Structures are given as C-alpha cells and as structure tokens.
Amino acid sequence: MEHDPSPGPPPPHQGAGAPLTPIPWEDRQRLGFAPALLGTVKLFVSDPKDGFRRIQEQGDLASPILFAVLLGWAAVIIGQIWSFLIGSSFLFLPGLDGEAFTLLAGRGLMTFGILLLAPLFVVIGLFIGSGIFHLFLLLVGGTERSQAGFEGTLRVVAYSSVTQLAQILPIFGALFGTIWALVLFTIGLSILHRTSQGKALAAVLIPILLCCVCGSIAAVMGLGSLMMAFQSA
C-alpha cells in the first residue's frame, strides 16, 4: 500500500467555504476580452499560486486553450521578429550583395508561413506536452487525490503559457522562459492534482531530463560559451 507522507496543498475551491472568484480569463464575458487577458497575465506573473487555485478544475476547456494559443502566437511573432532582425543583419555582410534580396524575400515568406501555422502547432504542442507530463504524473503517483484528470494537466500547461512572454528578451528569453515554465508547471500541477510539489516537480523534470537532455545540455553549453566569451572580451 502506497502512502504519500507529504500533506500537499489544500484542495482548490474548498478554502474558507465561499467559492473563489474565477480568474479574469474565465470571466471574460463580464470583464471584456482585453482586460481579462491582461488581468490573467498579470495574475499568473505576480501570484501564480492564487491563479492556479482559482482556475476551473473541470468544465470548459476552450478558455485555457484559447489563452495558450494567443500567448503562444504572440511568442512566435516576437521570436520571428528577433530572428528576422538578427538573421537579416547577416545578409548584408560583404560578398552577399547580389543574393541579399533573394534571401531576404525567402526568409520573409518562411516567416509568414510560420506565423500562419503557429496556432496549430501551439495546440499540438499543448496536447502532446500535457500528455507527457500527465503520464509521468501517473507514474510517480501524483494523481491519487486528483479530480481534475488529464484536463487538469492541460489547464496547467495552457495557463503556464504566460511564460512565453519571456521571448521579449532576446537570446536569453527562451532559457529564462523554460525555467519559469518549470516553476509554474510544478506549482500548477501540485494545486490542480492535490499532490506534493516533489511529485509534481518529478513529473515535470523526468521527461525533460530523459528526452530533452539534448536541449538542456545545449542550453548550458551555449550559456557557458557566452559567459566565457564575455569574460575573455
């Protein structure tokens, strides 16, 4: 018989008796689209624990998916602007005079394609990512007291899309956003599935360490090289 010795966080929606107020995004019909979006972003940036306690545990799945698509799309746009600006500057190096316009046009066309397909890939990534985290949450026994099921994991991953805004920072934005996302995933999964933060962290870290070791090592190596370059400059 398995027993989780850690008490875990209190169940959501059962605090002082009165139901918690929904997050602005899930109350956007009353608040309006833009204020609800900005209010939700502000909430998950400033107090993610409160945000995850207040999100719907069951019911409408369209709201979190729409939130993830909007922020994911915004991140792709920001990322493409950075990529275009940095990449285009290389096109005007000596020796590329005649080809610069052709390369620039090709790059612009590719950017347009990426922006067009981005929402689709955000939804695919959201679903597959949530599935992987949920599988490892099941494996570490993190769903024993959960009533939210897979949809709970999907909601956590969707609202954690707020970390995509880190793309505003050039070069280090992706790394910073990834670390921030790990923190939000851990907080959100522990609250929505009523499990310990240790199990939530394990469910998040194991697949990343197993399957994305490649990316982690590349990021650490890239960061190390940059630090060394700055020190030697």
Partner 1 sequence: MSQTNRQFGLLWGGVAASLVVVSPLGPYFANWLPRCQFKAILGLPCPGCGTTRSALALSHFDVSAALAANPLATLAWAGLIFGGLLAGVLALADRRVPELPSRLPVSWRWTITLALAANWVYLVIHGS
Tell me which residues touch partner 1 (CB under 8 A).
Answer: 2, 58-62, 65, 117, 120, 123-124, 127-128, 131, 134-135, 138-139, 141, 143-144, 146-147, 149-151, 210-215, 217-218, 221
Instruction: Report the distance separating Cα 24 and Cα 26, nearest Å.
Output: 5
Identify which of residues 45 and 175 has a Cβ nearer to partner 1 in the complex: 175
Q: Nearest distance from residue 38's CB to partner 1, in Å?
A: 25
C-alpha to C-alpha distance for 195 and 160, rounded to whole angstroms: 18
Which residue number, 143 or 196, has a Cβ lying nearer to partner 1? 143
CA 59 and chain centroid, separation: 21
List, in sequence order, the alpha helices (H) in the chain: 28-31, 33-46, 48-54, 62-91, 100-139, 149-159, 173-192, 197-211, 213-232
Least Cβ distance, residue 151 to partner 1 (angstroms): 6
Write down the least CB distance from residue 100 to partner 1, Å: 22
Nearer to partner 1, 179 or 217 (CB): 217
- Residue with Cβ nearer partner 1 (4 or 50): 4
162 in Cβ contact with 71 (< 8 Å): yes
Quick check: 31 and 39 in contact, CB under 8 A? yes
CA gap 169, 82 in Å, rounded: 9
Q: Considering beta carbons, is residue 13 or 42 the nearer one to partner 1?
A: 13
In whole angstroms, what is the distance from residue 113 CA to residue 107 CA?
10
User: Residue 138 CB, nearest distance to partner 1 (Å)?
Assistant: 5
Residue 50 CB, nearest approach to partner 1 (Å): 23
